[in-house]
Structure 1
Amino acid sequence: MNGTSFIVAPGTDFSLAKRPTRIDPFCTSKDEYRKLFRHHVKCLDTHQRLQYAANCQAILLIFQAMDAAGKDGAIRHVLSGVNPQGCQVFSYQHPSATESQHDFLWRTTCDLPERGRVGIFNRSYYEEVLIVRVHPELLQAQALAEPMVDADAFWKQRYLSIINHEHHLHANGTRVIKIFLHLSKDEQRKRFLNRIDDPTKNWKFTASDMTERGFWDNYQAAYEACIAATSTPESPWYVVPADHKKTARLIVSQILLYTFDSLDLHYPTTSAERQQELVAIRRTLDI
């Protein structure tokens, strides 16, 4: 399992309906899951330490999903063992008035990870081709220089802007990984009910969650079009079955490990001059 089977191959016919929301678990018991997941987390920490030391590559991990798909839990568990110095998490809600006065990529650009770090976007600039596509009235707040006349042309231009943006990031040392947690409508219903019935989870549920659930088919169509248009060889989309949280977390952690392996990172080499300096310092410490 390296996660590559969940990639959306660029230029191929893509249908969310043909992608599973649930697969057979990789582990047959809770103990087996804990052991494997701890191993993944330990490996991720080791890889990130190397990434931090090498200081030449960044990773941007983007999570998109329907409500209750498990984005927060995946982020919390998968990165639980990574040094906070090497990891940055940003969540995006409705754009502020200031953010709406800029192009749609502006507000996330300042939060891009530095070299040597992993950046996580809980939702992202993709909201501008997802929720805004489902609710095009939101474009009114953006005061666009050229209002949308031809809808197809408008969204194709935004997809192209995203592709160019991610190509620029890749060319400058940031590897972009995009994960869509693929949740079924029935599983979302169960998780909503759990949030209502469990007092400790009431805060997670709002009336707007039910409102957006009413646009389920519209969102599925928006995600399908977006993923098909913006999955590229260098910045692919992974469609991860999300009905079973633990399986989804294992897949996400493996995708991240696979990405780290592909970077072929090495600890910085020490020059002869620096080695002599360290030898001299050691002599001083030995006195």
Structure 2
Amino acid sequence: MYRAASLLPLPAGDIHLWLCPHGDSGDPALDASYHALLTPQELRQKDRFHFARDRHRYLMTRVLVRTILSRYAPIAPHDWRFANGPFGRPRIDADPVIEETRGLDFNLSHTAGLIVLAIARDIELGVDVENIRRAAVLEAVDHFFAPAEARSLDALPTALQPHRFFELWTLKESYIKARGMGLQIPLDSFAFALDSPGDVGFALADPHGNASWHFQQLQPTPDHMVALCSSTDARIVCRETSPLQWERSLEVRTTRASKISPLSPIPPS
């Protein structure tokens, strides 16, 4: 069985957030090492992408998941197996289960220039990263966001609206990913209130729904915004890596976090 030099501890209540910067292409020799870690199915999936930059990003995401999971359990990167949940979310398929894989879960997001991998034990979690240098799709707000979110964004000066859009979008994506249901959850069925600096208020349209989710937002680079949703008030520990090359601890300040109590239910529109 594979044994890492030293497995990383992952205490209860911690979420490890791994940041992987990437370009549009890689070193051919290193990429060959990456290819050796993927399954035939993953290699076929990579080759379905039309553009080389998308093939490279897919390769990096799969290698990141495999190599980083091996920092927490004595399983070789190429031996990890995954199964999709009812709505397509990948989960660890550990058979036979070993102690280090019990409760271990992850969620992944990527955008131009950065891949983010969140790992925890016995915590439901979802993560989203967006490149905030791209154009904000402001016209989507009135059609897909909750009315209160649209009104709050419209009240801002025009120059501040793109930043608020990405704050809302990453938070909303992190929530639906934590729920593991994707767009089966309508984007207007829950809302965030961000008018108080540093705070994240959260409300559900269903007054009987479980609103006890916790949110944290970070901006690890000038170009990227990250939001994390978790089922408990977790401590985030950030690390940066280039798979099979290096890794290091990283201090990233939280820019927003959940208020102590959730908002009232969303009023009918």
Could you state the TM-score of these two structures normalised by the residue count of structure 2?
0.31
Q: Taking CA–CA contacts closer than 8 Å with sequence separation of 6 or more, which of the two structures ends up with the larger relative contact order?
A: 1
Whichever structure has more helix as a proportion of its residues is 1
Could you state the TM-score of these two structures normalised by the residue count of structure 1?
0.30
